[in-house]
Structure 1
Amino acid sequence: MEPFAFRPRLLSTLKSYNRKTLMADIMAGVIVGIVALPLAIAFGIASGVTPEQGIITAIVAGLIVSVFGGSKVQIGGPTGAFIIIIYGIIQQYGMEGLAIATLMAGAFLILFGLLRLGVIIKYIPYPIIVGFTSGIAVTIFTTQIKDLLGLSITDVPADFIEKWGAYAANISTIDMWSAIIGVASVLLIAVTPRFSKKIPGSLIAIIVMTVAALLLKNFAGVTSIETIGDRFSISSELPDAQVPQMTWETIKSLVSPAFTIAILGAIESLLSATVADGVTGDHHDSNTELIAQGIANLASPLFGGIPATGAIARTMTNINNGGRTPVAGIIHAAVLMLIFLFLMPLAQYIPMACLAGVLVIVSYGMSGWRSFTELMKNPKSDVAVLLITFFLTIIFDLTIAIEVGLLIACLLFMKRMAETTDVKVIMDEIDPNDELDIEQGNLEHLTIPKGVEVYEINGPYFFGAGNKFEEVMAVFGDRPVVRVIRMRKVPFVDSTGIHNLKNLCIMSRKEGIEIVLSGVNSNVRAVLERSGFNELIGKENICDHISTALKRSKEIIGENA
């Protein structure tokens, strides 16, 4: 195995950097920065923090992911996937608890990268990803109904079902002007791509609806439209770095949500990088990317930020506008910094209903309803994982959904892997034309001597496979003198398989039956030798070929005659 290497893509791209690439990166970075602004504000508010914290997260994480990341075009920042888990942590542990959980998630992500888990994480079952992503989308949509319609609810319940009950009970309190702003924002964002590919619909909606709200307030006397300034005190001052006070008890209580943040961040960032690879023809370094995401999540909470990861929509915006190196991501962070320092006070005029409209569109994009409906046509086991993860995300929380979803997926994986391994009986003769482990030059049919049983294991020999011997052995009526176990199609054996095989050998010996292994490859033989099989059945009973195994069987029969 190669030694691990931390390879930020920025270093390799700067070697051949030129003026043309710089101009393309500047253009892409400016556009992505403008696209990221309304999303950062919306994600921050929806997560239960201030608009400033959303933008600071986009600045800090965006800069670090671009400088240290394993992808040329990845754009980091706050995303919709984190909204529910962040909001839940704040409600239970407060802002300091969120900071600690984010720091822990950063440490987990760095550990994932150092342990080279980047490739493994990309193979998390698709039904789980779709299940919790769709569940998050439904939950985000649900949390935005109050602001979208301007409902007068002082305390919105946290529970999904109770929340909809509260909406129904207060439906008469709809503010018509807020509802118009909210619905108009959704429609404007939805139709913008038809006439503008460069300028994001969310930015157009925020500008248009902010102006409309100001006009309604100043010239029509409409004061019922709630804005960001009505709910938050806006500041453009950069916060000082602060390390939260951590206690062992707090750390222990936050392990589960921190691990959820790390897993979610790893999945989303690597998924985003993989999608980007498909468009650009590049190939990202997944382990370096995980370390960069970890560093970003270590830095973000020090400045009051929230968890961050690779953002698919902003990454694709970067690519579509010509960004091809991490410099574009750095410029995107610089643009956000300039907006934060000089234009942040203007954010107080943005209507909350408009931000709700932005998040309604985000939730629709996250829902992946086409993928969801397609997966419903798959095997029942996949459908079960999908629906369980989906409903657990909605009804309980994302932490439980991911943990249970992964557990179910692991159990199904073990079941399917066990089903791929079978044990069969070979009767009478072995045809050399169909075999791979017969000695060269021996092309005659091999006759199985009387008193010898031959079994063949086809597939990995691990959990579940050993028990199949008992079922297959019922085929023979008489007790044999020798049992030959062909292992030519066994690529590996695990500790459970070794345990089962040892038990089979011990039980057979008690019955006066010798075990001979045939076709054992070098890797499996090494594992068996380390486990003491040379002493258990004798080194001479572990054979490379079936020809040798049958010859040894005849010797054993002769010795016992």
Structure 2
Amino acid sequence: MIEVVPFYHLLVKTIFAEVGDDNPEAVISTTVVAYALSSIFIGLAFLLLGWLRLGKLIEFFPRHILVGCIGGVGVFLIETGLEVSGRLQAEDGFQWNIKTLRYFLQSWHMVALWLLPFTFAVLLRFITHQFHHPLIFPTYFMFIPIVFYIITAGILRIDLAKLRADGWVFDIGRAAEAPFYRFYTYIDFRQTSFKALVATIPTQLALTFFGILHVPLNVPALGISVGEDNVDTDRELIGHGISNLAAGVFFSGPNYITYVNSLLFYRVGGGSRLSGLMLAAGTIVILMAGPASIGYLPVMIVGALIFVLGIDLVKEALWDTIGRVNHWEYFTICIIIIVMTLWDFVVGILAGIILACLFFVVQNSRRKTVRAIFDGSIARSTVRRHPTQRRFLDVVGTQTQILKLQGFLFFGTINGVEQLIRRALDISAWHQHPMRFLIVDFSLVSGVDFSAAEAFTRIQRLLDAKGVVLIFCGVTPESDIGIALRSVGMWADQGVRLEVFAHLNSALEWTENEYIRGMYTSSLAIGKTLGHAYLATAGALSMPGQQREPAFVLDEQFENSPRQQHIHEAARTAMNHLPSIDMVSLPPESVPHLAAEAQVQPAQKSGAQRDPTKQPLLLLLATFREYAEPELDATYFAHLVGYFERVPLPQGQTLWQAGDEPDGLYVIESGILKAKYDFVQENFDLSESMLAGTIAGELTFLSKQKRNTVVHAETECVLWRLDGESLSRLEKEQPDVFSTFFKILLRVTGDEQHSLMSYLVSRLT
């Protein structure tokens, strides 16, 4: 409780100023009542903190700050050991200056006073390093006074008065004659000045604030020292509140956990309820005996005890942490110890907190905020598209840049992100890698501060000047990140050119659709040719939301635009790979032959009388031709017509549920199917859109496994189904056609799985 002595001095000075020094009875009585009030104030503060469960706040305190506090207490104990052993009577206490050094080196007698207990402490440390029995510590200190009196009184014949005069034994003077209860005789409410008590309130509050620091700091620090991790700080606060209220009722000063005494208690085998009761009983006996027994206690035993604890704590803070903490944390520990030693305990804690905050900013600023960078040719959505569209997107997708961020974005990290985007928009980089869309993925971002949110407004203006659309994904309006961005006007409904999606898949799908819309609605001849590439419905490559206004429109003037020229080249690449299929070249005799052949099949369904030059022949050609060998022409696919059955599917209707037995594979003529994958992780969402010109359900159908998705019609659909019975007939009736078609299906399945894995890799990276 030595730390509160300055506050007690201030209380007494305030009372003296109000009462005056001509009425000592009033001064003493008011002082005692003021001490009792300080205990009550601290007790109420402890109870309130524990009741509100605010002790958990200390869990946010960095451990190296607590370790620094331990080291500071250790240095303070070494100073106290020197003061006690050397009988330093200076008003300012121990000071780190030349004057104090000269005092402790003034004579061999003075050196012996503090060097002997220090030597005893070091010797004990060597002993306990080799032997770990809990009784070594108390036995050692019980042995010291016995040896001391054998040498001084038995051998050297030095009387007790001289030992006290020379500083070897404590000299308490007339205090030895006072009974333990004399303290209560000073209390007289008639002499108490309530005006003086009111004047002490500011000091009482300061003492309360200082007092409540000890439990949240010392309890976890003690837990570290004794290896106890399950520390309930709230319970300790409530216990301290009750004990301080009881102390106030009995006119005693405030109390809180004394780190040094508690650590000593644990290290000699204490910690159980029985040992606690024994300690309380021993304390009561000493209280009843009064202070007279102190007059026979050698000073060196107290000095050695203080030195032992001080050395232990300094070692724990400065030596045991080497290699266990980083350089910045070790530097913080040293600064805390130095500030606590040269200035004040609380100032040292504040210095540690400031340094911890500073180093936190520096260290986190160096951390990698950008987790990964992809472009749209690598990171693809889960939408199943026609091979022609997919080939076009493989080339043009490099104009989509995906920036996957992580961690907490604040003023120390956002500058790196901004500089990265500025470099990407540099003229030289722009000509090599032009950009149309920038997707910023916030799914791994834990938070955004005001400075980082403001930086995105600058980034948006910079991108807008270049005609680049900024897209946010992995964020919702109600999330903390969404609220931070909305507060600075960074949202799609706040007048900025910005798109926001909940998932990366949705953002990728939107950009892919925009590329295709931009090409289809352009005046470029290559775009119109690509848009009217063969497919089942109206001879065009259909896509979601085709009627919506595209994000950009191309024109013929693309020579001076790297982005326009790149898209034109991507369209040309896609067209160059289109297989040339002339339906006129289909042998005339094959059509009636196939129709007649289909008509006589007993198990043939509604497609028996279909004209093979219409559906589903065009659909089969559009869907499977690019996966077939070059020598296969329309005649081959005409052999498959009679085995497919037309299945209309209204909007919203479920095609199959997860766990269903596969009833066939489906070729999509028009509309959109939506598949949803179910995972154990509830927060992991994965859906797949299947457009016209693609197939659905082929993997589970071919492997004869239960369905692993839920599929429904997002729009009104027209499907063509190949069921198990029809596939078996094809294998039996036309084995060569079946074998070739099975290989084609495996190629389609592999291509679709590759696209799905591309998205999963980009999401999970």
* Pairwise same-fold verdict (TM > 0.5): yes
Q: 2:165 aligns with which of 224, 234, 243?
A: 224
What residue number does 2:305 align with? 358
Q: 2:100 aligns with which of 152, 164, 168?
A: 164
Tell me by how many angstroms 1:469 deviates.
2.8
Tell me by how many angstroms 1:377 deviates.
8.0
| CA deviation profile, 1:215-250 (whole Å, cap 9, x unmatched) | 755489655244444367244228559999787886
Mapped to 1, the partners of 2:193 and 2:73 lie a distance apart of 28
Mapped to 2, the partners of 1:161 and 1:126 lie a distance apart of 31
| CA deviation profile, 1:29-87 (whole Å, cap 9, x unmatched) | xxxxxxxxxxxxxxx6xx2xxxxxxxxxxxxxxxxxxxxxxxxxxxxxxxxxxxxx335
Q: 2:424 aligns with which of 464, 471, 475?
A: 475
What residue number does 1:461 align with? 409
Tell me by how many angstroms 1:475 deviates.
2.1
Tell me by how many angstroms 1:472 deviates.
0.5
Mapped to 1, the partners of 2:7 and 2:143 lie a distance apart of 31
1:208 equivalenced with 2:146 (yes/no):
yes
| CA deviation profile, 1:16-36 (whole Å, cap 9, x unmatched) | xxxxxxxxxxxxxxxxxxxxx
Tell me by how many angstroms 1:517 deviates.
0.7
Q: 1:182 to 1:368 in 2, by over 3 A?
A: closer
Q: Which amino acid aligns with 2:142?
A: I
Q: Structure 1 stretch 358-367 or stretch 311-320: which is displaced more?
A: 311-320
Quick one: percent identity of the two aligned structures? 16
1:406 equivalenced with 2:353 (yes/no):
yes
Mapped to 2, the partners of 1:509 and 1:248 lie a distance apart of 65
Q: 1:1-400 maps to which residues of 2 (within 5 A)?
A: 47=2, 85-90=3-8, 109-110=46-47, 112-114=49-51, 116-122=53-59, 124-149=61-86, 157-162=93-98, 164-168=100-104, 170-171=106-107, 174=110, 182=117, 186=121, 197-198=134-135, 200-201=138-139, 204=142, 208=146, 218=159, 222-226=163-167, 227-230=169-172, 233-234=175-176, 235-237=179-181, 239-240=183-184, 259-273=209-223, 278=228, 283-297=230-244, 299-300=246-247, 303-309=251-257, 311=259, 314=262, 317=265, 321=269, 324-325=272-273, 328-342=275-289, 344-368=291-315, 371-372=318-319, 374-375=321-322, 378-400=325-347
Q: Which amino acid aligns with 2:4?
A: I
1:492 equivalenced with 2:447 (yes/no):
yes
Give the alignment's TM-score, normalised by structure 2.
0.51
Contact 1:130 1:368 in 2 (8 A): no
Tell me by how many angstroms 1:168 deviates.
4.6
Tell me by how many angstroms 1:408 deviates.
0.6
Contact 2:53 2:234 in 1 (8 A): yes
Mapped to 1, the partners of 2:162 and 2:375 lie a distance apart of 97
What residue number does 2:750 align with? none
Contact 2:47 2:238 in 1 (8 A): yes
Mapped to 2, the partners of 1:492 and 1:244 lie a distance apart of 55
Q: Which amino acid aligns with 2:405?
A: I
Tell me by how many angstroms 1:490 deviates.
1.5
Q: 1:188 to 1:452 in 2, by over 3 A?
A: closer
Q: Which amino acid aligns with 1:475?
A: A
Tell me by how many angstroms 1:487 deviates.
1.5
What residue number does 1:32 align with? none
SS in 1 for 2:402: strand
Contact 1:484 1:518 in 2 (8 A): yes
Q: Which amino acid aligns with 2:370?
A: V
Give the alignment's TM-score, normalised by structure 1.
0.66
Contact 2:226 2:266 in 1 (8 A): no
Q: 1:262 to 1:299 in 2, by over 3 A?
A: same
Mapped to 2, the partners of 1:93 and 1:376 lie a distance apart of 46
Q: Which amino acid aligns with 2:180?
A: S
Q: 1:501 aligns with which of 429, 438, 456?
A: 456
SS in 1 for 2:472: strand
Mapped to 2, the partners of 1:343 and 1:87 lie a distance apart of 22
What residue number does 2:749 align with? none
Tell me by how many angstroms 1:121 deviates.
1.9
SS in 1 for 2:97: helix
Contact 2:317 2:333 in 1 (8 A): no
Number of residue equivalences: 469
Q: Structure 1 stretch 362-371 or stretch 496-505: which is displaced more?
A: 496-505
Mapped to 1, the partners of 2:142 and 2:327 lie a distance apart of 44
Mapped to 2, the partners of 1:419 and 1:537 lie a distance apart of 34
Contact 2:373 2:404 in 1 (8 A): yes
Q: 1:299 to 1:183 in 2, by over 3 A?
A: same
Mapped to 2, the partners of 1:524 and 1:156 lie a distance apart of 52
CA RMSD of aligned residues (A): 4.7
Structure number with greater CO (CA < 8 Å, separation at least 6) is: 1
Mapped to 2, the partners of 1:254 and 1:418 lie a distance apart of 42
Mapped to 2, the partners of 1:425 and 1:196 lie a distance apart of 56
Q: 1:255 to 1:524 in 2, by over 3 A?
A: same
Tell me by how many angstroms 1:375 deviates.
2.9
Larger Rg: 2
Mapped to 2, the partners of 1:373 and 1:261 lie a distance apart of 29
Q: 1:322 to 1:202 in 2, by over 3 A?
A: closer
- For structure 2, the 5+ residue unaligned runs are 14-30, 519-549, 554-765
Mapped to 2, the partners of 1:441 and 1:294 lie a distance apart of 67
Q: 1:426-445 maps to which residues of 2 (within 5 A)?
A: 426=373, 428-429=375-376, 431=378, 439=382
Q: 1:244 to 1:535 in 2, by over 3 A?
A: farther
Q: Structure 1 stretch 200-209 or stretch 124-133: which is displaced more?
A: 200-209
1:541 equivalenced with 2:499 (yes/no):
yes
Q: 1:138 to 1:343 in 2, by over 3 A?
A: same
- For structure 1, the 5+ residue unaligned runs are 1-43, 48-84
Answer 1 or 2: which has greater helix percent. 1
Tell me by how many angstroms 1:402 deviates.
0.9
Contact 1:185 1:209 in 2 (8 A): no
